[in-house]
Amino acid sequence: QVQLVESGGGSVQTGGSLRLSCAASDDTYCYSRMSWYRQAPGKEREFVSTIDTSGNTNYADSAKGRFTISQDNAKRTVYLQMNSLKPEDTAMYYCKGFLRRCSSRAAFTDYWGQGTQVTVSS
């Protein structure tokens, strides 16, 4: 079973930066779109950013100007560069991807990663 694997979380101080990564565990899978969501304790999961294979991106208002989503097509990896981090960015960050085997013409199926924790201290 393919999985999405996130990495790059950690603890930083206000104003710091982190870069999150997300990739499928099986490199025979391709994606059509990858997105980042986050969930803070006691809050609902919320959208952060998304990118498709054409490079079209979208951001939540809270991420605009501070976060940048990008992709390495050769590595089939998506990144979320987070700068000027604030305590309110503290959350578990999840990657969501629409995947299918690269050789397949089946519909893409959505998968969620296990999450990576980001903690920003003041």
pLDDT confidence of 119, banded at 50, 70, 90? very high
Per-residue pLDDT at 115 exceeds 90: yes
pLDDT value for 74: 87
66 pLDDT band (50/70/90 cuts)?
very high
Length of the chain equals 122
8 Å CB contact between 99 and 24:
yes
In percent, the amount of the chain with pLDDT more than 70 equals 100
Q: What was the pLDDT predicted at 7?
A: 97
Given this model, what pLDDT does residue 73 score?
86
Q: What is the rounded average pLDDT of the residues 110-117?
A: 97
pLDDT tens, position by position, 1-46: 999 999 999 999 999 999 999 999 999 999 999 999 999 999 999 9
End-to-end CA distance of the chain: 40
Grouping H, G, I as helix, E, B as strand and the rest as coil, residue 89 is helix
Query: Do residues 108 and 32 lie in contact, with contact meaning Cβ atoms separated by under 8 Å?
Result: yes
- Rounded Cα gap, residues 29 and 76, in angstroms: 9
Instruction: Provide mean pLDDT across the span 42-71.
Output: 97
Q: Is the pLDDT of residue 75 over 90?
A: no
**Mean pLDDT, all residues of the chain:** 97
* String of DSSP letters for 49-87: EEEETT--EEE-TTTTTTEEEEEETTTTEEEEEE-S--G
